[in-house]
């Protein structure tokens, strides 16, 4: 099963949202993560402007390299929906924007590629069984590692030891 098929299989029952797609090469946006970006390309600046005037929502997908014009086949099958927290036009024409990841997402279908990519985006939920042996083992290993760090750290409060 491909990643895209797995994403579709684990998608929530929410209806797809029509969102502009911002492809980025520098990093990957995760839910609840804040990401500052400097936007130089006029196409992507227009995308941010339009999203800010609408509902401040967009979808961010990683792509390995900048290919112009935009090719939908070059982006990752899983990305994240994001909210514009702040934006500011710089004097040199670039735009500084702060995004906050909302949820993982997959693209159902592209609706348009001009003036910027727009697609039907479906939020994706993780399928994690909190009671599984794997989660329990990871929890115990994390706790043991944290306790080891506390024991050798000179900066941790004594009541943590």
Domain of 143, in residue numbers: 128-161
- Cα 52-15-45 angle, rounded to 5 deg: 20
**C-alpha span between 127 and 132 (Å, rounded):** 11
Query: Burial, 80: exposed, middle or buried (Cβ in 10 Å; 0-12, 13-18, 19+)?
Result: buried
Strands (DSSP E) along the chain, which ranges?
17-24, 34-39, 57-62, 78-89, 95-112, 118-124
Same domain, 66 and 83: yes
**C-alpha span between 152 and 161 (Å, rounded):** 10
User: Domains in the chain: how many in total?
Assistant: 2
- For the entire predicted model, the pTM comes to 0.71
Q: What is the pLDDT of residue 13?
A: 52
Q: What is the pLDDT of residue 146?
A: 87
Q: What is the pLDDT of residue 2?
A: 43
**C-alpha span between 138 and 39 (Å, rounded):** 39
What does each of the 161 residues of the chain score in pLDDT, given as a tens digit? 444 444 444 444 567 899 999 999 989 999 999 999 999 999 999 999 999 999 999 999 999 887 777 788 889 999 999 999 999 999 999 999 999 999 999 999 999 989 999 999 999 987 777 788 888 899 999 999 988 888 888 787 777 76
**What would you report as the CA-atom Rg of the chain, rounded to the nearest whole angstrom?**
20
Same domain, 78 and 157: no
Residue 99 · residue 34 · CB < 8 Å: yes
Same domain, 36 and 102: yes
Q: What would the pLDDT profile of 58-86 be if each residue is shown by its tens digit?
A: 999 999 887 777 788 889 999 999 999 99
Same domain, 95 and 27: yes
Q: What is the pLDDT of residue 161?
A: 67
Q: What is the pLDDT of residue 9?
A: 45
Q: What is the pLDDT of residue 89?
A: 95
The domain spanning residue 15 has which CATH number?
2.30.130.40
Same domain, 78 and 20: yes
Q: What is the pLDDT of residue 128?
A: 74
């Amino acid at each position: 099963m491909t990643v895209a098929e797995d994403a579709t299989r684990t998608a929530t029952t929410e209806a797809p949202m029509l969102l502009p797609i911002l492809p980025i090469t520098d990093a990957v946006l995760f839910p609840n993560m804040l990401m500052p970006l400097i936007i130089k390309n006029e196409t992507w600046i227009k995308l941010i402007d339009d999203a800010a005037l609408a509902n401040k929502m967009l979808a961010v997908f990683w792509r390995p390299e900048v290919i112009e014009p935009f090719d939908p086949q070059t982006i990752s099958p899983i990305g994240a929906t994001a909210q514009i927290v702040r934006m500011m036009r710089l004097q040199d024409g670039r735009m500084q924007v702060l995004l906050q990841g909302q949820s993982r997402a997959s693209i159902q279908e592209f609706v348009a590629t001009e003036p910027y990519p727009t697609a039907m985006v479906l939020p994706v939920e993780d399928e994690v069984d909190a009671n599984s042996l794997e989660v329990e083992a990871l929890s115990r290993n994390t706790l043991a590692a944290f306790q080891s760090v506390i024991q050798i750290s000179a900066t941790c409060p004594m009541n943590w030891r």
